[in-house]
Structure 1
Amino acid sequence: MSKLPLTRVLAVFGSGTDGRLGLGFPITSQLYPRIVASLAGYSIKQVSCGGAHTAVVTDDGSLFTFGLNDWGQLGHSREDKFVAAPIEVTLPDPVKAVAAGGFHTLALTTAGELWAWGMSGEGQLGIGQPTEGRQLEPRMVRSMTGSGLVAVAAGDHHSAALTADGQVYTWGRGDHGALGHGSVQGHVPVELVPKRVRGLAGVRVAALTAAPYATGAVDGEGQAFAWGHGTGWQLGTGRNTSELTPVKLDLLPGGVTSLALGQLHSLAVVGDGRAVVFGSDETGSLGGGTDTLRSRVARRPQPVPGLPLVSQAAVGWKHSLAVGRDGRLFSWGWSGAMGQGTFTDYGGGQLGHGDDQDRWAPEPVLRLHTSRHRYLDLRAPHVKSRPWRVLAAAAGRNHSAAVVELPLDVRDLAD
């Protein structure tokens, strides 16, 4: 029997509200990761989870979105308030990176053009003064044309972009200092078009991240910077305060390789593969076990116990994900489903452990569903080697997604 070729698929889990999992009807939550069968014919490159929608980029540059569409954040289906299955966003060139924000979406194409759509009334699309509060179709951010963009990031009401020469631009609503431009006469203004973050002058940034109300950057040497909402110790500065301009995170161990800022807690992966956490604990999000009940806060970055060496981390509203170098996925924190969405909430499960119970310490995700009734389980006695490998993970408000590599028989996708 010939071996099945390895393929990269999208797996989703958590609340199914407003179709954000892309599994079609009936809309239900998923307590274990489940492959999005309609995208199984594509090789998945990247996934980004927004407040209640999801965006996916494939190797050939196709972009698919699904979920809540009340502000036009899907870039298609103008009249639909939500879309429960992936639909392609039409852009003139292939997409190489996407960022799903709270209510808007950014896409960077191979032509170097930046496109934006969704909620627009607070400048987060970067297209200047909007004529209305939502943009239902992709609009080019013309002021960034020719800037040599290589990465984008999106928060709830702000956006960020990175150029090839390491410069960072931000725009949108600057609440808590999320834009990093400081204040004008004591007020933080709204920026309707991208503006360079001057506080990073002389720093060659290599990677960007965004929280709902904060932004972070990592330079080529692995030094991290953060600014924005920090009144829960979540910026890693060692201070319980928001920062209006970038602050160098000297408290982090050397060589940061992955930085994920969240609403009240954050994760970083340092050069040797250790995951460290900082911020305020919400239902176990710091991963320190029940001992964190005593303090409920990590004022300084501290290691997350019980994890192997990690390659990447992601942070949701109150939950955390870590991708091990060995391809395993770990999760902890909140597993409920109360929160952002328009229609009936169908349950939680964004930790992927088969229930909606919170976890106060990291646990490995052991099951992957290929369809509603078929699955692979690492606990099965016949499994002698790991049948799948997680390459990257993303976390939304109360849903999660992962790029998973595995040998897939398409017959296993049938219910």
Structure 2
Amino acid sequence: MSKSPLTRVLAVFGSGTDGRLGLGFPITSQLYPRIVASLAGYSIKQVSCGGAHTAVVTDDGSLFTFGLNDWGQLGHSREDKFVAAPIEVTLPDPVKAVAAGGFHTLALTTAGELWAWGMAGEGQLGIGQPTEGRQLEPRLVKSLSGSGLVSLAAGDHHSAALTADGQVFTWGRGDHGALGHGAVHGYVPVELLPKRVRGLAGVRAQALCAAPYATGVVDSSGGAYAWGHGTGWQLGTGRNANELAPVKLESLPGGVTSLALGQLHSLAVVGDGRTVVFGSDECGSLGGGTETLRSRVARQPLPVEGLPLARQAAVGWKHSVLVGQDGRLFTWGWSGAMGQGTFTDYGGGQLGHGDDEDRWAPEQVLRLHTSRHRYYDLRAAFVQARPWRVLAAAAGRNHTAAVVELPLDVRDLAE
């Protein structure tokens, strides 16, 4: 491989249904990570995976989306039900953060403005009472202008935002307690506008995450809080119950640096880089090996063996993703595909190991495809000399995406 400067690219793998991988036509699943060649000219900053769509932010503030568009969640291509390759979303200012939800998308610009689009009928856009059930173009969330927003998160039908001074706002549908505002006369209402989570009074949040029906934060001292859907033990509260207001996760080891809540299981990276898991097992998602078959649930956080010191965790519907501090990528759990797509399902592969077989314990992802027929494999001598490193990862329902740093030879992008 000729000497090349380090560059940050987007790699995707898993189900290709509805174009969520952004690789264009023909639409097929990818059993190994593959670079999105059409974005190779950009330096990738962040990626977020929604239910069946993907959103990508570049260093220069460009925002690209692709995948399913039945609710307008792409923010472009009004008439298209899906888009198979990246197209830029037009916003007034450069984008610094994005969150892809189940059927909607949020973007934070350098001007401090929050924009939202996609499914709108349940308040998840935060724009008040919508005139239509879907918003095909970005709408400004006016009530949060000037709030000093720094990060975003999105679930299936709800949204969350974090301010620089540590306040958390949520809005949308409150099923299972996902908003954290408690109940009114036993009823969890829909919030059409962002509302501060008062149960976090006195807590200075510094990181935010969302599951399909739950929300979590990490505070400035490394403490973690969660609320929402918890009837699979997946909140880490030690209870098999939904939580309508924030609960501090006392059972987690100190100094949480990454929290990833999922539909039925969750991961956390604690201060020394260890990874713990809690919740219900689905196809090996707890990573405990075949011994998990005997219990099928982690009522308290359990360490996941066989992993390096971790940088970041991500959780899909039934699969788990871990980015090591050394840039290695590990995945485990479910590798098939079904649901949350409109058109023909083209298979799974969201673990990136070359097949659609489930993994009951963590396994390192070793191959990165630069095109359909070319790849770099970490077991090859020339790659080991200048390896590719994963900096961050995101997990959708049936697909995974990663920001990868490597000395890319652009000739390898050619088919």
TM beyond 0.5: yes
**Offset at residue 384 of structure 1 (A):** 3.5
- Return the offset for 1:324: 0.6
SS at match of 1:256: coil
Name the structure 2 match of 1:77: 77
Q: Give 3-state SS (helix, strand or coil) of 2:74's partner.
A: coil
Q: What are the residue-to-residue correspondences of 1:36-115 with 2, within 5 Å?
A: 36-115=36-115
Counterpart in 1 of 2:298? 298
What is the CA–CA distance in structure 1 between the aligned matches of 2:10 and 2:357, rounded to whole Å? 24
Please state how far the C-alpha of 1:387 moved relative to its aligned partner. Answer: 1.8
Please, what TM-score do these two structures have when normalized by structure 2? 0.99
Tell me how large the CA RMSD over aligned residues is: 0.9
Report 1:206-221 matches (<5 A): 206-221=206-221
Aligned to 1:376: 376
Unmatched 5+ stretches in structure 1:
none
Shift of residue 395 of structure 1? Answer: 0.1
Q: What CA distance in whole angstroms lies between the structure 2 residues aligned with 1:105 and 1:267?
A: 23
Question: 1:348 Cα deviation (Å)?
Answer: 0.3
* C-alpha distance in structure 1 between counterparts of 2:339 and 2:322, whole Å: 23
Residue-by-residue CA offset, 1:226-269 (whole Å, 9 max, x unaligned): 00000000000000000000000000000000000000000000
After superposition, where does 1:236-385 map in structure 2 within 5 Å? 236-385=236-385
1:140 maps to 2:121: no
> How far apart are 1:96 and its partner, in Å?
0.2
* SS of match in other structure, 1:18: helix
Deviation at 1:339, TM superposition (A): 1.5
Q: What secondary structure sits across from 2:385 in the alignment?
A: coil
* Identity percentage of aligned residues: 89
Following the alignment from structure 2 to structure 1, what is the Cα–Cα distance between the partners of residues 398 and 339? Answer: 8
Alpha-carbon shift at residue 78 of structure 1 (Å) = 0.1
In the alignment, structure 1 residue 223 sits paired with structure 2 residue 232:
no
**1:72–1:118 contact (8 Å) kept in structure 2:** yes
- Given the superposition, is the C-alpha separation of residues 300 and 409 from structure 1 closer, same or farther in structure 2, using an over 3 Å criterion? same
Deviation, 1:26, is 0.2
Q: Take 1:353 and 1:286, find their aligned partners in 2: how far apart are those partners?
A: 18
Structure 1 residue 382: deviation in Å? 4.5
Show the counterpart of 1:193: 193
SS of 2:257's partner is strand
Task: Name the residue aligned to 2:402.
Answer: 402
SS at match of 2:294: helix
TM-score, normalised relative to structure 1: 0.99
- In structure 2, C-alpha distance between the alignment counterparts of 1:354 and 1:276, rounded to whole Å: 26
Give, in angstroms, the shift of residue 386 of structure 1: 5.1
Q: Which AA in structure 1 matches 2:103?
A: F
Q: Could you say which residue in structure 2 is the equivalent of 1:26?
A: 26
What residue is the counterpart of 1:164 in the other structure? Answer: 164
Offset, 1:338: 1.1
AA aligned opposite 2:403: V
Letter in 1 for 2:34: R
